Chain A
Amino acid sequence: MSSHAHVVPHAPTGFVSKYIFSTDHKVIGIQYILLAMTAVFVGMILSLVMRFHLAWPNAHLPFIQGGIMTPEQYASLLTMHGTIMVFFVLTTAPQGGFGNYFLPIQIGAPDMAFPHLNMLSFWVTFLAFVAIIAAFFVPGGAPLSGWTGYAPLSGLGEVTGPGEGWGQTMWIVSIALFCLASLLGALNFIATTIDMRAPGMSLFRMPLTVWGWFVTAILGLLAFGVLLAGGVLLLLDRSAGTSFFIPAGTVVNDQLQPHSGGSPLLWQHLFWFFGHPEVYIAILPGMGVASHVLSTFSRKPVFGYRAMAGAICAIGFLGFMVWGHHMFVSGMSPYSGFAFSVLTMSIGVPSAIKTFNWLGTLWNGKIQFKSPMLFALGFVSLFVSGGLSGLFLAQPAIDNRLHATYYVVAHFHLVMGVAAIFGIFAATYFWFPKMFGRMMSEPLAKLHFWFTFIGAYLIFMPMHWLGIAGGIRRYADYTAVDFLKPLQNVHYFMTIAAFVTGAAQLFFLFNFFWSLKHGAKASKNPWNATTLEWSTDSPPPLDNFDGHYPSVYRGPYEFSRLDTVDDFTPQNIPPAEVKRNK
């Protein structure tokens, strides 16, 4: 512990300054997590409605306008599902939520570098969420153009469909706000990591979680500005009559559109220059959490710590060079396609480094199958299963065949969707005791894990097969297409699996809220872990360390050292105070 005396700041007293407009990174982190929980609930309901419709396309749905879902309504559901899940869950929870809460504590800082900016980031994100939800309720309803907002569909207004008027505008406004908030957040994370580390916390003593959040923030800083620029141009195409993305001679519903010379591909380039780093924004924090948790519950140091940190950086770096692999079927030059293909496959190298090092971490460990560990293992499993299909899709020749099919849907749901969600669950079960001072129920958590883990595979594994068989994505009704009719049984199966898996999330929801009040009291360090957040109270005081800021004497994962009595050596214990074997 540092010997400096510090002035502990006064805690805010009012409800509003304490819980609503708080500048405390811990409160803001929980606000982000609650926002993501709300968003994931909405996103999951949307996916269940879609799955229900795919299985029983002629069923009467009382809450759908007109009773029976139209293809346009289906398209708007999938647009909103993708947008809400990618932005407001997969970006918000791991980075805005857990990153905000634990990055400052893990580096021994009292708060983020710019607490007021941090508060602003959250509230702008919240506004963005309000804007996207509002898209359901504006005239014409939600947009249809997918979470990628492809032009010209997204750039022409109402003429292209019911949700393409107001709904699409709300979508762009929401995304623009989200970009602004994420840029401010990224700035804060980077400045905090660079300048706020405790004495002794060198870069290579940072927990891998911090590496994950730090590199994610750099990706966000470089990527969100590009999407923002694209969004501005798209909005101008819609409202100011410009032609950035709309080509000449575009005819919709027999009406010639008053645009000329624009390029839909330009939107795709701008979008995917953001969009590909975005999938790493979703997954890198999960990789950090998985490394952290695997090490703690194997009672072993992370195997190849420096290689792990290096692999995070390499994945982040390569992530900016592969956006073209989303556009193989756009008619790009085969030479560009080849370059994007090779670069994409090269991401397999750092990904394999991570995977083998995770296995190396487990090897010969004293493995404790606690709930965070189960979800971290699930993360590794899903990341590998989902990642392998990426190698197939990285071949332009194969991608031409699979591009618009469920194979792609299966790939990205496993590798960035469900894997990232497992990272979030691992983080929740791992840090809940620290955040709320109480333990979650282990039996409920294990039930939740097994249902979700098996359920996720039951939903998404058949999708690969469906895609290879030619099952086209974004079709609302397979029974209406002759060659797809025989695949309808696969949809029944996946829909039932989805409903069971969705229902199993109630185990989590109940566990979370029940444990807040009734969980067993958590000690400072219930998992016998080594990093700085476990050296302070559960939950941590306002300035995280109650005035006694830690110094750091060693790396983050010193488990099972031969020369010490305990099987873990926290980062903040001075060498002289470590109990050593005689």
Chain B
Amino acid sequence: MPGTTATPDVELIHSDHGGTGGGSSGGNGQGGGGNEPSGRAAGVPQRTYVTGMTVGLGGILMFFMALVSAYIVRKGMPNSGWVPLPVFPRVLWLNTAILLASSVTLARSRKLFRAADEEGFRHWWGVTTILGLFFLVGQIIAWRQFAQAGVYMATNASSSFLYVFTVAHGLHLAGGVIALVSVLFRPTHRLTRSTATEVVSMYWHFMDGLWVFLFLLLILGR
């Protein structure tokens, strides 16, 4: 019986393989393959890390979408006893603006990185990190203002979801800040720096967009 595949024996599909540099093991910059990151073209991110981050963001998105769908179902139920949030601190608007600004500064930093402007890259990367910290401090201020208004985790389903969304997002963003800092201060041995800046900024922009979505949901769902 002939083979199953219609493809003739001689055809080789090389485009599937290898990222950019020498070596044959794709984006695997560690362990087995033995490729050195230096062996690849400078400035091009290692592909597996970009794939890994894309896939990882898909998983994170599902986590938040599950919470969001729970929010929609829980709010829409008959006898849900839903009481809209009595206050909505203005600092949340400021935090949103700060986070949006951080995406702009991050994009600028990346542009300067690609232009090999090390000083400009570090400057704007640092600004992004500080904006990220401002956002987290702003969220803590917002939680305190909610608490002062008597809005706690168990007050009502609306406040429960408020805290679940903001804390879950805040923890993810804190991870992003740690990643931003580590790119600035820690020499990366497994990832090339271009990969590190690429995947960290993917993550950061995603967290920014996710926040805007959650923010709108909280406002429109009040």
Contact = CB atoms under 8 A, between A and B. Distances in A.
Interface of A: 2, 4, 6-9, 23, 109-111, 113-116, 183, 186-188, 190-192, 194-202, 204-205, 221-226, 228-230, 232-233, 236, 240-244, 247-248, 260-263, 266, 269-270, 273, 300-302, 305, 542-544, 549, 551-555, 557-563, 569, 575, 578
Nearest to B1: A560
Given A229-B70, A236-B160, A190 B55 contact: yes
A559 B154 CA distance: 64
B73 A266 contact: yes
A269 B61 CA distance: 18
A197 B16 contact: yes
B77 A244 contact: no
B10 interface: yes
B70 A195 contact: no
B175 interface: no
A6 B32 CA distance: 10
B5 A225 contact: no
Instruction: Identify which of B12, B18, B23 gathers the most chain A CB atoms within 10 Å of its CB.
Output: B12
Contacts of A305: 4-5
B100 interface: no
A7 B16 CA distance: 22
Instruction: Identify which of B2, B30, B34, B55 gathers the most chain A CB atoms within 10 Å of its CB.
Output: B55
Contacts of B55: 186-187, 190-191, 221
Contact of A554 (B7, B24, B82): B7
B42 interface: no
A301 B3 contact: yes
A225 B57 CA distance: 11
Interface stretch (B44-52, B88-96, B113-121, B138-146): B44-52
Contact of B47 (A183, A195, A543, A553): A195
Contacts of B17: 197-199, 201
Contacts of A2: 24
Nearest to A263: B77
Contact of B59 (A4, A111, A221, A261): A221
A368 B153 CA distance: 64
A554 B5 contact: yes
Question: Can you list the 6 inter-chain pairs with the closest CB atoms, starting with the nearest?
Answer: A110-B32, A555-B5, A261-B81, A241-B154, A7-B34, A229-B66
A266 B67 CA distance: 11
Nearest to A193: B51
Interface string B114-139: 00000000000000000000000000
Contacts of B51: 113, 190-191, 194-195
A282 to B, nearest CB: 19
Contacts of B9: 553-554, 575, 578
A214 to B, nearest CB: 12
B74 interface: yes
Interface of B: 1-5, 7, 9-14, 16-19, 23-28, 30-34, 47-48, 51-52, 55-56, 58-67, 69-70, 73-74, 77, 79-82, 153-154, 157, 160, 164, 168
Contacts of B34: 6-9, 110, 543
A420 B80 CA distance: 41
Contacts of B12: 199-200, 551-553
A270 B24 contact: no
Contact of B157 (A7, A200, A243, A553): A243
A263 B2 contact: no
Instruction: Identify which of B5, B10, B157 gathers the most chain A CB atoms within 10 Å of its CB.
Output: B5
B76 to A, nearest CB: 10
23 contacts: A4-B24, A109-B32, A113-B28, A187-B56, A190-B55, A192-B48, A196-B28, A196-B48, A197-B17, A199-B12, A201-B13, A202-B7, A222-B58, A222-B59, A225-B62, A233-B67, A240-B153, A242-B153, A247-B79, A266-B74, A301-B4, A549-B25, A561-B1
A113 B48 contact: yes
A581 to B, nearest CB: 13
B161 to A, nearest CB: 9
B79 to A, nearest CB: 6
B59 to A, nearest CB: 5
Contacts of A301: 1, 3-4
A229 B4 contact: no
A92 to B, nearest CB: 19
Given A186-B59, A305-B4, A195 B160 contact: no
A543 B28 CA distance: 12
A222 B55 CA distance: 10
A183 B12 CA distance: 33
A352 B136 CA distance: 53
A557 B27 CA distance: 28
Nearest to A115: B31
A205 B32 contact: no
B3 A243 contact: no
Instruction: Identify which of B17, B27, B73, B74 gathers the most chain A CB atoms within 10 Å of its CB.
Output: B17
Nearest to B167: A232
Contact of A225 (B60, B160, B164): B60
Contacts of B18: 199
B32 A200 contact: no
Contacts of A222: 58-59, 62
Contacts of B67: 229, 232-233
A116 B30 CA distance: 9
B21 to A, nearest CB: 12
Contacts of B168: 232
A204 to B, nearest CB: 7
A224 B61 CA distance: 12
Contacts of A551: 12
A260 to B, nearest CB: 5
B24 A113 contact: no
A579 B64 CA distance: 56
A103 to B, nearest CB: 14
B70 A261 contact: no
A204 B48 contact: no
Contact of A226 (B27, B28, B62): B62
Nearest to A23: B31
A553 B9 CA distance: 6
Contact of A242 (B4, B11, B157): B157
A247 B110 CA distance: 50
A65 B67 CA distance: 40
A461 to B, nearest CB: 36
